[in-house]
Structure formats: structure tokens, C-alpha cells
Structure 1
Amino acid sequence: MNSTKRAYNFNAGPSALPIEVIQKAQEELVNYNHSGMSIMEMSHRSKDYEAVHNDAIARLKSLYSIPDNYEVLFLQGGGSLQFTMVPMNFLNSDQTASYILTGSWSEKAFKEAKLFGQIREAASTKDNDYRNIPALEEIQFSQTDSYVHITSNNTIYGTQWKDFPQTGGVPLVADMSSDILSKPVDVSNFGIIYAGAQKNLGPSGVTVVIIRKDLLEKANTNIPTLLKYSTHAEANSLYNTPPTFGIYMLGEVLKWVEEKGGLEAIESNNEEKAKLIYDVIDCSNGFYYGHAHSESRSLMNITFRVSDENLEKQFLAEAREAGFIGLNGHRSVGGCRASTYNAVPYETCKALADFMVAFQNKNS
């Protein structure tokens, strides 16, 4: 355990939050802004809460330089509900959408979309056990597609898009749940970006949707009210009671990103953190080996194995004893995974790298 008695938290989600944000929330928890109430107790129609709500939207727009022709929505249901909302709003039974399969979450999105219209695999790396992102020239979609869907980062397999496909007039829809806010992104290249908050944005319970306004005008109307993006856009995400505390926390995380120097600085820090661990894997002479191909490696989720299965179990057990949390790979694939999201400190990644070297030296 480190000197501040905080765990070395590599959980894949819900995941580490900036300690500065947690401490500020602790200070304000009982009496927010001299109101005599916690932010959790306030009406979502109150001036105090609306200021928090609107400030969070404004900060996200500023950090990403989101153009004026986009709406920022705060929804619920996680990224998984977006697997349904996207096709429900934008795919009719006589239309086709293209999905690029790069892991379990894109598979789940693909499965949901089948309920609404015709679905095409524009590319897939499943035959390669999702070890890489498809080359851009491998992607096949039609200009008549309703949209093209990707998952920008794959938490289970540890792969991440470095360059996004250019889809021309076809809206590109991206599930960015596990790498949103981790680097600069040109939002204008996308029709829709959605993300559950519980990796880089804040606690679980909030889903951010960034959507181009012209798409709202083209969306299906004969669907339930709460599942229409337009319902939430017209009401500034206040049609029903939003997850107020989660949005407050999200706003504080955005302030923290600003204080750290913005998305360029966050990306640089993420590269340095991931390099610590990848270097140990690459220099281990096969004692450790990664799942993802080097050109597709994720900066958010580092997936790897120990060459001997019994040693792998010992590695995970000793890591837990040393205060490292969340290093087990996803239950569907096993192995090891270090999720190095924005709020995971450099020192935590350095501690893991040192532990990995020491473990190898002791067991080689």
C-alpha cells in the first residue's frame, strides 16, 4: 500500500477518480455553496444545481472545442443503453448501418442494432482474437448507410483506434466510454460520440452524448419519449431528474483536466504512464507478453499475460497483497489488465512497473 493509504487502483470501471476531486466533494458534501444542503439533496430545477449542470456542459464543450452545431447531453443507462438508442433513433427496418467489430462491446452494440434494421460488418478482427484494430483500407461500408459505428477503445482486449475512419457523408458514431477525455479529438469528424462516465469522466451513473444537431432533425419520431435524443436536447438534459451528483462530479473532473493543462497534457501523461508498463512487458524476454499488437495498443487498458499459468496466479495474488487492485483480466478472457485511466497517477504506474520487474527477477 502506498504512503497515502490509497490503493494502487487499476480497476477497469468504475475506476480511479482524481484525489483532488474526491477531497473537494468531501468538503462540499454536506453543505454545497452555503445552501445548507448537499448537492444530492437539491432540486434539479434549483439555480444552484442548474449552474453546476450548465457549467459542466460548457467545460466539456471548451475542452473538446465542440462546434456550435452539436448538443451535449447528460443521460442515464450507461453506454449500453446507447447500443439501443442509436439504432432506435437512426435506423429504420429498411435501412442499413455498418459496424466495425473490435471487441466484446462492439459485438453487443452490433447485436442490439439487429433488432431495428439491416446490419453490415464493415470490418472485424474477431478471427485474430481482437488483437488489433482494422487497417483503414480494410473497412467496407456504403455511402447509403445510416451510420458507421465504432468502439474507440476496447477495455477487454486492450486495443485502441489511433486514426479514425473517414466516412464522408455517413455519420460516424463512436462509443468512447473508455477513452473519452484521454486525448484531443476532432469532434467534427463524428455524428455522435457517447460515453459512460465511469472511466475518465466521473462516477458511474452519467452517460455523455455529443450529437450533431442536424441528426436530431432526421431521427425517428415514433419511439418512446425518453429514448428520443431530441427530448433531452430540447430540455437541456433536464426532461426528467438527471443524476445530479454524478454530473457535479463530472464537472469537477473537467475542472481537474483544465488545471492539468487540458487534453494535450493529459494525453502526454497517459503516454508516459503506459510506456512504463509496456516497456517492462517488452523487455521481459517473454516472461510477460501482451495481447494487443503493438500498433493497436491501448493507452487506457494494458492487457498482458505471465508466461506460466501458475506464476500468473501467483503474480495476481502477490499484487493484491502489495496493494494493487483490479489487475485481473476480464472474466471472459482472463490474464492481467492494468487500466491506466486519466486519474491513475504516474507514481501508481511506476509502482506496478517496479513490482513486475521484481516479480520477474524473483521467479525467472
Structure 2
Amino acid sequence: MTRAVIPAGSGTPLAPFSPGMQADNVVYVSGTLPFDAQNNVVFPDDAEAQTRHVLETIKGVLEAAGATMADVTFNHVFLTHWGDRGWRSPPSRTRGADPMALARTEALPQAGGWRVRVPSPSRVALYQVLLLAGLLAAWEIAIRTGLLAVYLYGQPSGVFAKAWTLILSGELLRDSALTAWEAIAGFAIGTVLGSAAGLVLWLFPTGAAVLRPYMIALNGLPKIALAPLIIVWFGIGLGSKIAIAAIITFIVALITAQQGAKEVDEDLVKLMRSLGAGRVRTWRTVIVPGAMPWIVSAFRLNVGFALIGAVVGEYIASKEGLGYMIYYAGVLYDLNAVWVGIAALMGVALAMYGAIDWIERRLRG
């Protein structure tokens, strides 16, 4: 049930909106201004008095709907100047910063006289390099001193030598580019189609309920079990690897997007309904934007799944690509080449993650 809430004695609205709207057991009050019943501004030079007047107006709307101020669960406050709320002006070094963040910072107690230091990006990068160098040095020392067997673990110096040989021959670049293309194409196809399908299912709850057990079954199925079928259907060429990556990422994106649509604040949906918005418009303006964080998280998950699909396809039926390189080197016990292939896969994954971060920053503006 949806109805307008208009307290007795309310002035004529300046716009075609009601002081409040009630949708089922939720009351929405928005756009309350410091006006009297004749639409005159009250207490023009007193922000505190205006605030009290606005709160009294809101109280009247709630009481007209059978509620009280104690029932308020969420509110937004809009100010033209942050000093109206009694905050101190920030020092010159913080001007232009987020006033809400500064206000929260000022309110935090300094427990024990210590504070958390956030290291600079350059320092973090230095620590990362030192960590990697330390691990490689320990590995090399363990091999040279006989603590580890080189035929079981490989050797960092041998890995670098093998990588240089493969770079000079062009084999490493060729295989890396092929696997990256398979993973990126499968990722794009599967993630885009899966996300779109998951969002569209919100519009068709009956269809979503019918498909739910099949989606659960496909999600629980080890996706690589489908690889032999896909090889038969698409052949041993590039298409089969892209198809494997696309199918794996499609299922993940579908389920994640659908769950994201379901997790959108139900109060926002009720608000759109109370304002007369149809299901499609609510989907477009509330559900899709609200599910975006879930979809972006699916992007990150699907980077690894897309690479799994591409590599598994190369394991099964291929004579090129990083998956084939790793498999063939493993058969020959050339562990240095195996490590080169693994490192190249990690590089492809990092590049894809970096691209997703860039896209996310662009979307946020």
C-alpha cells in the first residue's frame, strides 16, 4: 500500500511532492525545508533554529503516518556550509579535503599516544622487491648447499637463464600473447554476458526461481570437466580455449550479478515504487547501479578463472601457449621452464588485474 502523508496545517507544496510517502510500513520524508505554512523562510540567520524547525516538521509528518522520531532508521543531512554543524574550519593544509572525513578524524581518540602510519607507495614497492629478492636468494642458497634437490625444485639462476633463452627465441612472447588473448577474449565474453543475464533475472523472478537449481549445479560442477566436450564441439584451435574460459566466467558472473541485484537495499526499491516508477525503470536506475560492486568483484574473480580455462584447454589439446609450455616442460622434467611459464602466467594475471583497476577508477570518475 502506498499513500501520501500530509499533516494537518501543512502549507501548499512548492513542487508536486508530498511532505511524506508511506509504502507499506516504511515512511519516506524528503526535501524538508525551513518554511512555515505560508512558505516563508523562518529564522533566516539562525541555522540551529532552522534545524529545530525542520525536525519539528519531520516529526509532524511521522506522527501523521502513525510513527514517532524514535522509529527513524536512516537520515541524510544537507548543508550549504559545514560550519553550520558546529565543526571547526580546517587548517590551511587540509582545505579542500572531505569535511566529513576530517570531522570523523577529529572525533577519534588518540589511544595510547600512537597512530597508524600508512607507508608510501614507493616504500611498499621497495618492500615487495626486497621480499621477492629474499625468497629467490634463499631458494638459490638452498639449492647450492644441497638442502633442496635441483631436479625437484629448479633453480632461480637456471630459471632466469631459461627465461632469457625463451625471450631471445621469441617463444615466450608468442606463447604469452596467445594465452593472454584466449583468457581476455573468454573473460570478456563470459563476464559481460553472465553479468547481463544475472541482472536481467531480477526482472523475471519466476524464471530465476526455475533456473536456480541448474545454476547451483553448474556452479558446483568443476568447470574443467566440461573441457573435453568443448574440445569436441569447437576443435583444438583457438576457439575451444576461448569457449572454456567464457563458460567458466559466464557462470561466475551470472550468479554474482544475480546475487548483487538481490542484495540492493529493498527500501530503495520501495521508494521507487512509491514514486510510481515501473519495474524496468527501477531496474535501470536502482538495481543495475546497486549491483555494480558485486559485478566488479566478479571481474576480479574471473581473471583467474579465465586463465584457468585457457591453460586447461592448452593442456588438453594444443601445441602452443603457456599451458602447453608448462605441460611439455613438466613431462621433460625441465622445471626451470615450468617456472618461467608460471611466472609468465602471473604477469598476464597482474596485467589483467591492472586493467580492471583502471576501468573501475574510470567508472568512479
- Compute the TM-score of the two structures, normalised by the length of structure 1: 0.23
Using CA pairs below 8 Å that are at least 6 residues apart, which structure has the higher relative contact order? 1
Higher helix share goes to which structure? 2
Tell me which protein shows more strand as a share of its residues: 1
Structure of greater Rg: 2
